[in-house]
Chain A
Amino acid sequence: MEIVPLGDSALIVRVRERFEDAPDQALTEVLRTFRRLQDAAIPGVIELAPAYTTVAVFFDPMVVTNAGPKPDEALDWLTERVRAAVAPHMRGGHGRGAASRVRLVEIPVCYDPEFALDLDHVALQAKLTPTEVVDLHSRAEYRVSCIGFVPGFPFLAGLPKELATPRRATPRKEIPTGSVAIGGAQTGIYPLRSPGGWNVIGRTPTRLFDPEKSPPAFLRAGDRVRFRAITREEFEALAP
């Protein structure tokens, strides 16, 4: 584990060097670190943001410097606090308690040709039929590595290797809300209409981001996710 500054108002706690070789383990460790830091409630810490192999710790330098140390010691002081808060995890091995709290979320997806703009392209790349692509995609279990890009956008690990498809050379100017897509070895869902370069293979009626709700995002880092293939009729019935 290393702790490095991210400018003058944040630190990055890097729990692991690599992600791809053991995504599940990386996420479990990141989430444990995230919870430990949450529980520690270190003075001056404003918010925490987990992603893949790291937890970012955003802080108010004014509070941290006033919490005791001299200005030139503020960062050392905070780093020590952070290190102490996450230390039990370094000694404690695999805390099963944290892992058992992981949610399993099911997301309905309609793979109708009208929504699946790039399904044929993905099938061609994978040397599979579109039906086989849909089967593989909707049978796998995924895990949210990170929420980002736009609010509520889940980056999902666990895509069957056959389905990995490079991003489009020219990104689309506009991808419809709810589009389920493949980008490289990851799959994800566009919560808002936005530009994007991933290959769209379906659409979900589930709303992934709603600023009026608390929390505003439907998913969070660490969640386990399954897609359930639905018909066009089911999609229309579920769509808001």
Chain B
Amino acid sequence: MTATVFHAGFLTSVQDLGRTGYRQFGVSLAGALDVFALRVANLLVGNDESAAGLEITFGGLRLQFADERIVAWCGGDFDVQIESRSLPAGHATRLQACEELKFGRPQIGCRSWLAISGGVDVPIVLGSRSTDLRANFGGFGGRALRDGDVLQLGARPGSPIPATERISSWSASKPWSQTAVSTPVLRFVRGAAWDLFNDVTIQRFTSEAFAVSTDSDRMGVRLDGLELRRDNDVDLISEAVAPGTIQVPSSGKPILLLGDCQTIGGYPKIAHVITVDLGIAAQLRAGDHVRFSEVSLADAHRLLLERESELKRFRIGVSLHAV
């Protein structure tokens, strides 16, 4: 069965948890910029966590299914409507065939992830259903969705389908489902080039707010305002970078890399946003102000372990509520 896209909106693409294993060939991770949000949404509709869903940027998406499906979404502060009723983040609901699902513009944040029971069924390319928008492969024809596209959906898993009242009674908590915040603070661990910056620069990096520039995209968030200068501005030998890496080109304006980033880079890496905060980074939009706060690597791992064990409890909870 299918989903028909009436309006694709600003930028909507098919994404799963990303493409790993091919960095040595220069292939980017891609995938949902907030994989945790997509995993939660998938669990809510009874999918495997890694099923492909839609990443919606700045709303404007309108779509309809050819058969009955369960849907849920997590992400920014979007107004989502099914015909005349609204669907809050982190809640699963049943969508009848030919009912229209509509994403409005977000108040806070810029992205959301929609899970559809059965998942979006596009071919697996290099181990993933994610769209590589830079190299134009994977996902739906290697590109963002356009008005009029018809997507294949997977078979609905886990039959019998959970009863409607059960679906709506189970929801994800707000910090999980509504990941955009009005005063974002990103926690980071030190990068290899940390010591190349003097104390004053480090002090400014960790105390002042950076403005998100308009030329930010799925590759990275460009930050304006403060310029982080180095005393000795030599070029470094290119080496691996990853989503979360904050690199500082000679302009002094830092770039926070996201899922579509290149696999290598030669700019100094001042810091790395920790994995549990990448979902907050994925919501940054032009004009937002963001601050950075240091944590230890041990804390970064502890926070990740905590969140994963909470997700494990959530997964059990969801499965108990399915009939």
Contacts and interface: CB of A to CB of B under 8 A. Distances in A.
A48 interface: yes
Interface in A153-184: 153, 155
Given A72-B298, A148-B238, A149-B262, A49 B24 contact: yes
A61 B244 CA distance: 15
A145 to B, nearest CB: 8
A146 interface: yes
Nearest to A147: B26
A141 B262 CA distance: 27
- Size band of the interface chain A makes with B: 35 or more
Given A49-B263, A51-B264, A149-B264, A10 B301 contact: no
Given A7-B245, A8-B272, A65-B305, A215 B25 contact: yes
B24 A5 contact: no
B272 A6 contact: yes
B20 interface: yes
Nearest to B235: A184
28 contacts: A4-B192, A5-B192, A8-B272, A47-B20, A47-B22, A47-B24, A49-B263, A58-B242, A61-B301, A61-B305, A65-B301, A71-B298, A71-B305, A72-B298, A146-B238, A147-B263, A148-B26, A148-B238, A148-B263, A148-B264, A151-B27, A155-B238, A209-B26, A211-B135, A211-B138, A216-B27, A217-B25, A217-B26
A54 B239 CA distance: 6
A57 B136 CA distance: 26
Interface string B254-286: 000000001110000100111100000000000
A192 interface: yes
A73 B302 CA distance: 10
B126 interface: yes
Interface string B297-319: 11011101100100000000000
A71 B242 contact: no
- Size band of the interface chain B makes with A: 35 or more
B134 interface: yes
B106 to A, nearest CB: 27
B23 interface: yes
Interface in A1-32: 4-10, 12, 14, 18-19
A114 to B, nearest CB: 24
Chain A CB count within 10 A is highest, among B20, B22, B300, B301, for B301
A216 B28 CA distance: 13
B240 A10 contact: yes
Given A8-B274, A211-B138, 15 more contacts: A6-B191, A6-B192, A7-B274, A7-B275, A8-B275, A9-B275, A49-B263, A50-B24, A51-B264, A72-B301, A147-B25, A148-B238, A149-B26, A152-B26, A215-B25
B84 to A, nearest CB: 42
Nearest to A50: B24
B189 interface: yes
Contacts of A74: 298, 301
A46 interface: yes
B21 interface: yes
Contacts, number: 150
B125 interface: yes
Nearest to B192: A4
A153 B26 contact: yes
A151 B135 contact: yes
Interface string B12-23: 000000001111
Nearest to A57: B240
A221 interface: yes
Contacts of A220: 24-25
A204 to B, nearest CB: 17
A89 B322 CA distance: 54
B242 A62 contact: no
B301 A8 contact: yes
Contacts of A4: 192
A25 B28 CA distance: 28
A220 B239 CA distance: 15
Interface in A111-158: 146-153, 155
Nearest to B24: A49
A7 B244 contact: yes
A29 to B, nearest CB: 14
Contacts of B242: 6-7, 9-10, 58
Contact of A150 (B26, B269, B272): B26
Contact of A49 (B136, B240, B274, B302): B240
B320 interface: no
